């Protein structure tokens, strides 16, 4: 076999090998496609429309509130200022709030009680996962062991103790109180929590989460610590 034939054969072999490698990679990593059926797509679209509708409703409420403020400022600016302050306190979680919702009780699993073993602590990751799931299911206000959660709340481990905004979760059992927009939303949250992944995660850590039936009246306490505002200052005119 002369040199030209050898070179041609080598090039052809390399090309074939390259094509086989590409084909193997294509089979190994198929293109990810949306495999949802028509009903799943319809449900996803419906959910997006509901979110869009809620946003429009909030915009209309804000516009109506602005018009109300303009009117009240002309007639009674002190009253308008006081009303605004109270509304801001409520939105920030600084006031006690009552409404429909559910109460979750976190306690040792029955097996641990029968064996006489005591659960010493609860991991912050478990609580964070639970709070995220509750928010996903349209929880509006949450308190953990009597401590109200706000937008800046932090759940973390400090020196081996799980703390919520600096307050230790020392005693088990304790309650997680959840408020929702209305009783219907509370029922939906209750049903979803029956098959919750985070509830199963608690059981792995020898803890049980008991969920009350939807209640018309649940009370969550106000946030009692000082809210520290950073990277913000009054505008100087």
CATH of the domain at 191: 3.30.70.1880
Q: Which domain, by its residues, includes 208?
A: 98-220
Domain count, the chain: 2
Q: Which parts of the chain have pLDDT scores under 50?
A: 26-32
Whether 58 and 134 map to the same domain: the answer is no
pLDDT at 29: 43
Q: Is residue 36 part of a domain?
A: no
Are residues 49 and 112 both part of a single domain? no
- 106 and 200 in a single domain? The answer is yes
138 and 169 housed in the same domain:
yes
- In this structure, the answer to whether residues 102 and 134 fall within a common structural domain is yes
Question: What's the pLDDT score for residue 10?
Answer: 64
Residue 1 forms part of a structural domain:
no
Residue 221, pLDDT score: 95
pLDDT digits 0-9 by tens, 124-169 = 999 999 999 999 999 999 999 999 999 889 999 988 889 999 899 8
Residue 131 domain flag: yes
CB of 207 closer than 8 Å to CB of 104: no
152 and 74 both lie in a single domain: no
Q: Are residues 63 and 168 in the same domain?
A: no
- What pLDDT shows up at residue 190? 96
- Are 133 and 61 contained in the same domain? no
């Amino acid at each position: 076999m002369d040199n030209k034939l050898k070179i041609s054969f080598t090039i052809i072999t390399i090309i074939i090998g390259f094509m086989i490698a590409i084909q193997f990679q294509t089979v190994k990593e198929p293109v990810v496609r949306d495999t949802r059926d028509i009903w799943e797509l319809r449900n996803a679209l419906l959910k997006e429309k509901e979110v869009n509708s809620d946003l429009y409703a909030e915009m209309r409420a804000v516009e109506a509130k602005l018009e109300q403020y303009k009117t009240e400022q002309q007639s009674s600016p002190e009253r308008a200022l006081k009303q605004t302050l109270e509304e801001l306190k409520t939105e920030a979680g600084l006031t006690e709030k009552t409404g429909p919702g559910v109460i979750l009780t976190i306690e040792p699993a029955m097996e641990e009680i029968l064996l006489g073993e005591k659960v010493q602590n609860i991991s912050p990751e478990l609580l964070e996962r639970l709070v995220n799931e509750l928010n996903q299911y349209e929880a509006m206000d949450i308190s953990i062991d009597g401590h109200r959660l706000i937008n800046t709340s932090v759940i973390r481990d400090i020196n081996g103790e799980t703390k919520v905004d600096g307050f230790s979760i020392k005693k088990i059992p304790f309650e997680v109180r959840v408020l929702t927009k209305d009783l219907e939303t509370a029922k939906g949250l209750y049903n979803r929590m029956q098959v919750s992944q985070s509830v199963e995660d608690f059981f792995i850590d020898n803890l049980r989460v008991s969920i009350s039936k939807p209640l018309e009246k649940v009370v969550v306490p106000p946030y009692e610590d000082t809210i520290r505002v950073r990277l913000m200052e009054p505008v100087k005119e």
